[in-house]
A and B are shown apart, each in its own frame.
Chain A
Amino acid sequence: QSVLTQPPSVSAAPGQKVTISCSGSSSNIGNNFVSWYQQLPGTAPKLLIYDNNKRPSGIPDRFSGSKSGTSATLGITGLQTGDEADYYCGTWDSSLSAVVFGGGTKLTVL
């Protein structure tokens, strides 16, 4: 059972938009920055979003992040088959004194 809650799977057609939610509490998302990672099959995770809504260099603006209260959202527009991957949210939990991750969301581009 992960501290952060993500939907196990989402799907959408190529070219469409999808959002992935990440729900937490005041001890984690509510008072700390959120980051998002993409894990393509058989590879290491890759940073997509940091500090709630910032993109590292090289990450296309099709990827966006937002946070409201104790929830965060990753948005992906213009879906491509290459976006099929597992997506994880992460943040610091002040009560646990630990980095916590969501359980991951598998994105299928139909």
Chain B
Amino acid sequence: QVQLVQSGAEVKKPGASVKVSCKASGYTFIDYYMYWVRQAPGQGLEWMGWINPNSGGTKYAQKFQGRVTMTRDTSISTAYMELSRLRSDDTAVYYCARDGAITGTTLWFDPWGQGTLVAVSS
């Protein structure tokens, strides 16, 4: 079955960077766009951007431009999201989620990874 398994929780200090991984299985990794969405404690969902695993092309939400980098390693079917210059308000659960269809961007997300808690604290 299609599955996305993310890396474990991280605790970081303000100003540091974090890199979260998302390992895909059960489908051809390069065939589907991958998205990243975060959720601050008790808050709603916030879209961060996407990566085309085939080309490596990315699109980032304006809010994260300059701080986020999405990459992939096709040899191990894994996508990565790195966020730099962390602040306390970056404390959130970070999710990867696959695009719903095999071509292009349908912009609906299915399935989702289990989430990775990133806590930023001095």
The listed residue with most A CB atoms (<10 A of its CB), out of B35, B62, B108, B113, is: B108
Cross-interface CB contact of A88 among B35, B44, B106, B115, cutoff 8 Å: B44
Known: A91-B107, A99-B107. A47 touches B45 (CB 8 A): no
Q: Is the CB of A90 within 8 A of B45?
A: yes
Report the interface size for chain A: residues with CB under 8 A from the other chain. Answer: 25
CB–CB B112/A104 < 8 A: no
Is the CB–CB distance between B108 and A101 below 8 Å? Answer: no
The answer, yes or no, to whether B111 is at the interface (CB within 8 Å) is yes
Whether A98 pairs with B47 at a CB distance below 8 angstroms is yes
Inside 8 A of B109's CB, which chain A residues have their CB? 35, 37, 45, 47, 90
* Known contacts A99-B107, A104-B44, then 16 further A-B pairs from the complex at CB < 8 Å, ordered by chain A residue: A33-B106, A33-B108, A35-B108, A45-B45, A45-B112, A47-B108, A47-B110, A50-B106, A50-B108, A50-B110, A90-B45, A90-B107, A91-B107, A97-B59, A99-B35, A103-B44
